[in-house]
């Protein structure tokens, strides 16, 4: 069960008596709690039958009493418990989980912590209601998610433009959703979003960005990498070192994984690496140019320079100088 299937079932008037939402991806939890608050009931019904609690400001007894109340002038009521991980003695809701009221839809947003599967309350939640765990999306999943969101709005996106978005925005789905809204406001429905649109409306320079830096390093193109770093030096907010190093580590750790796979089909390999199939070429090129030992050395260099970036074993060298030194060593092996 995912957020899309839950929203679809809600639109058809199909509900579980309660939903326990937790996991590593807060965006989907927030998406569902917002939808529950604004969409399940009609506005005139919500005024009397939608109640929102916050774990730090309420008690389990208040939540329980509200859940057992019958709706006013409506078929059902919605009770939302946000920040549920901060509610003391939440397990005391167990009697309600055992016998939930059919006219109440309870939404529990449980962030930061995980349900203790050893307890009876966990078994009841999974048997009597809907337990949903949202995993953090991989790079491949984020790319697919962006494509799906755009397709729902009648847009397509070019492969390189998609990679620019993923590399620039990372795994922050809330921020990605905001940028998609910008694209929707500025691009005609049915159009293909290209690199120019990403540069203009998302604010990513299509020539000087982390994606192009990764490509330059994958191709052992020191001069191109150097020019990109020069741009970063002049535009510090474009790509801080704390963003660049993890992405370069991700590149070479996936290249390293290539040496351990027996698969020959690009789509299968991309699935194993957790990347979109159309980006596999860069990884295979890097594996060819650096070899096993070179890739291993680059991972060690990235670890060393990550320590230097926080002041371990480094002098007062600035970020751009550290980065230039790093890529010189990486492309020289």
Residue 114 shares a structural domain with residue 151: no
Residue 11 shares a structural domain with residue 126: yes
Residue 42 shares a structural domain with residue 13: yes
Do 275 and 140 meet the contact criterion of CB atoms below 8 Å apart? Answer: yes
Residue 216 shares a structural domain with residue 189: no
The enclosing domain of 283 has a CATH number of 1.20.272.10
Structural domain that includes position 167: 139-202
- Total structural domains within the chain: 3
Taking residue 33's Cβ as centre, other Cβ atoms within 10 Å add up to: 19
- Rounded to two decimals, the pTM is 0.74
> What is the pLDDT at residue 242?
86
Residue 130 shares a structural domain with residue 169: no
Domain end point (choices 150, 180, 202): 202
Residues of the chain with pLDDT under 50: none
CA atoms within 13 A on the CB side of 34: 7
Taking residue 30's Cβ as centre, other Cβ atoms within 10 Å add up to: 17
Q: What CA–CA distance (Å, rounded) separates 36 from 46?
A: 10
Q: What CA–CA distance (Å, rounded) separates 35 from 214?
A: 38
Residue 183 shares a structural domain with residue 257: no
Residue 130 shares a structural domain with residue 143: no
Domain end point (choices 178, 202, 226): 202
Residue 106 shares a structural domain with residue 47: yes
Residue 260 shares a structural domain with residue 319: yes
The enclosing domain of 17 has a CATH number of 3.40.50.300
Residue 219 shares a structural domain with residue 297: yes
Domain end point (choices 114, 134, 154): 134
> What is the pLDDT at residue 314?
67
The label of the residue with tokens 């990347």 reads: 275
Q: What CA–CA distance (Å, rounded) separates 111 from 225?
A: 40
Residue 247 shares a structural domain with residue 152: no
**Model confidence pLDDT, tens digit, residues 166-182:** 888 888 899 999 999 99
Residue 44 shares a structural domain with residue 76: yes
**Model confidence pLDDT, tens digit, residues 193-236:** 999 999 899 988 888 888 899 999 999 999 999 999 999 888 88
């Amino acid at each position: 069960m995912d957020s899309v299937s839950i929203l679809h079932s809600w639109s058809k008037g199909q509900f579980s008596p309660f939903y326990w939402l937790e996991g590593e991806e807060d965006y989907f939890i927030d998406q569902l709690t917002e939808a529950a608050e604004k969409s399940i009931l009609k506005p005139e019904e919500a005024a009397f039958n939608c109640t929102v609690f916050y774990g730090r400001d309420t008690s389990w007894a208040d939540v329980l009493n509200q859940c057992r109340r019958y709706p006013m002038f409506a078929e059902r009521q919605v009770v939302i418990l946000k920040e549920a991980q901060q509610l003391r003695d939440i397990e005391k809701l167990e009697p309600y989980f055992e016998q939930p009221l059919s006219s109440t839809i309870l939404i529990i947003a449980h962030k930061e912590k995980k349900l203790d599967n050893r307890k009876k309350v966990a078994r009841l939640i999974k048997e009597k209601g809907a337990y949903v765990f949202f995993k953090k999306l991989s790079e491949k999943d984020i790319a697919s998610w962006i494509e799906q969101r755009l397709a729902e709005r009648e847009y397509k996106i070019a492969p390189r433009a998609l990679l620019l978005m993923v590399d620039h925005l990372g795994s922050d789905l809330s921020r990605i959703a905001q940028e998609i809204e910008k694209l929707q406001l500025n691009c005609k429905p049915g159009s293909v979003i290209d690199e120019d649109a990403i540069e203009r409306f998302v604010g990513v320079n299509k020539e000087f960005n982390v994606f192009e830096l990764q490509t330059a390093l994958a191709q052992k193109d020191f001069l191109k990498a150097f020019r990109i770093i020069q741009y970063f030096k002049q535009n510090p907010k474009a790509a801080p070192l704390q963003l660049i190093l993890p992405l370069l580590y991700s590149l070479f750790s996936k290249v390293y994984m290539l040496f351990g796979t027996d698969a020959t089909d690009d789509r299968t390999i991309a699935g194993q690496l957790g990347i979109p199939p159309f980006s596999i070429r860069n990884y295979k090129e890097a594996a060819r140019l650096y070899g096993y030992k070179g890739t291993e050395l680059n991972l060690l260099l990235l670890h060393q320079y990550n320590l230097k970036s926080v002041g371990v074993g480094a002098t007062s060298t600035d970020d751009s100088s550290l980065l230039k030194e790093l890529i010189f060593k990486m492309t020289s092996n």
